[in-house]
Structure 1
């Protein structure tokens, strides 16, 4: 039965097919479980970017948590802090 019409070729092919299938599953598991990288191989952070103090201040002012005077004073302090001591 297996010797007629090339049945032996399928018998030789099946172990190779299983090896390829197992290797593919292992590769997919490794790809999914490792951290994402960009095209250069540098790891890509999955955390959202942190807000700068200025962005936090802008958001708080826009939402009405602080008034204009407080916003202006805080902006000036942040600007002075960024420049450093003289």
Structure 2
């Protein structure tokens, strides 16, 4: 074999092991990601009151608007208006 044969053999061996290592890393990451998706699906959703409180805390609505909307949320006997 000439010098090119040894060089090609070395490069192909490095590429082979690099592909094997990358495949193992990809497999581990894929399996780890599958475990996290179940935890995210079980997370409770925010109630309307919590969403309203977050908007007030961020400054999207003022105190008067916050209290008005909170009263509407707590007033269950009020009939719904049809659009």
Flag whether TM exceeds 0.5 (same fold).
no
Q: TM-score, normalised by structure 2?
A: 0.43
Q: Structure 1 length normalisation: TM-score?
A: 0.42
Tell me which protein shows more helix as a share of its residues.
2
Bigger RCO of structures 1 and 2 (CA < 8 A, at least 6 apart): 2
